[in-house]
């Protein structure tokens, strides 16, 4: 959970957010796993990293190419979201596990699920019930 004010710096097509909190640095919120990690000290440093192998890890261009080859295109206001979140052992970064959805649905669903999981120990068995 982000507890201090921040400025979004960049969003990925997978719904991940790179942001700058008031305390400084550039951080990556991986919305598939709820992991938050510092990736740079400044926006300028972050910009320089965008042309490196780290950017391939963050933005997965090969997976995007495979998704598009499979006819899965994220349009305006959409991102790719997971059928099974990568926080689960069954969640994979694969074409079959991703679909384009409206961004608000991605953040709403992943936020609710990951918030519910945060107090559980690693390896806990979870049963999800989806519905109204």
Q: Is 130 strand, coil or helix?
A: coil
Exposed/middle/buried for 67, CB within 10 Å: 0-12, 13-18, 19+?
A: buried
All residue ranges of the chain with pLDDT < 50 are none
User: Is residue 12 included in any domain, yes or no?
Assistant: yes
User: Is residue 131 included in any domain, yes or no?
Assistant: no
User: Is residue 53 included in any domain, yes or no?
Assistant: yes
* Token output for 95: 């074409």
Q: What is the pLDDT at residue 29?
A: 93
Number of Cβ within 10 Å of residue 40's Cβ equals: 20
Q: What is the pLDDT at residue 120?
A: 64
Q: What is the pLDDT at residue 129?
A: 64
User: Is residue 1 included in any domain, yes or no?
Assistant: no
Range of the domain at 109: 6-117
User: Is residue 95 included in any domain, yes or no?
Assistant: yes
Q: What is the pLDDT at residue 87?
A: 84
Q: How many domains does the chain have?
A: 1
Contact between residue 83 and residue 98 where contact means Cβ atoms under 8 Å apart: yes
Q: What is the pLDDT at residue 37?
A: 95
Q: What is the pLDDT at residue 131?
A: 58
User: Is residue 122 included in any domain, yes or no?
Assistant: no
Full-model pTM: 0.84
Residues facing residue 118 across a β-bridge: none
User: Is residue 100 included in any domain, yes or no?
Assistant: yes
Give the model confidence (pLDDT) of 4-18 as tens digits: 899 999 999 999 999
Give the model confidence (pLDDT) of 89-106 as tens digits: 889 999 999 999 999 999
Q: What is the pLDDT at residue 68?
A: 98
Q: What is the pLDDT at residue 7?
A: 95
User: Is residue 128 included in any domain, yes or no?
Assistant: no
Report the chain's mean pLDDT, rounded to a whole number.
Answer: 89
Q: What is the pLDDT at residue 3?
A: 78
């Amino acid at each position: 959970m982000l507890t201090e004010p921040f400025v979004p710096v960049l969003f990925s097509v997978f719904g991940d957010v790179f942001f700058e909190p008031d305390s400084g640095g550039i951080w990556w919120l991986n919305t598939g796993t709820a992991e938050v990690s510092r990736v740079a000290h400044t926006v300028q440093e972050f910009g320089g990293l965008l042309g490196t192998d780290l950017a391939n890890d963050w933005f997965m261009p090969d997976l995007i190419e495979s998704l598009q080859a499979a006819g899965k295109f994220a349009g305006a206001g959409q991102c790719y979201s997971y059928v099974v979140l990568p926080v689960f052992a069954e969640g994979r970064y694969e074409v079959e596990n991703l679909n384009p959805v409206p961004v608000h649905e991605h953040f709403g669903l992943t936020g609710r699920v990951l918030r519910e999981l945060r107090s559980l120990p690693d390896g806990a068995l979870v049963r999800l019930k989806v519905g109204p």
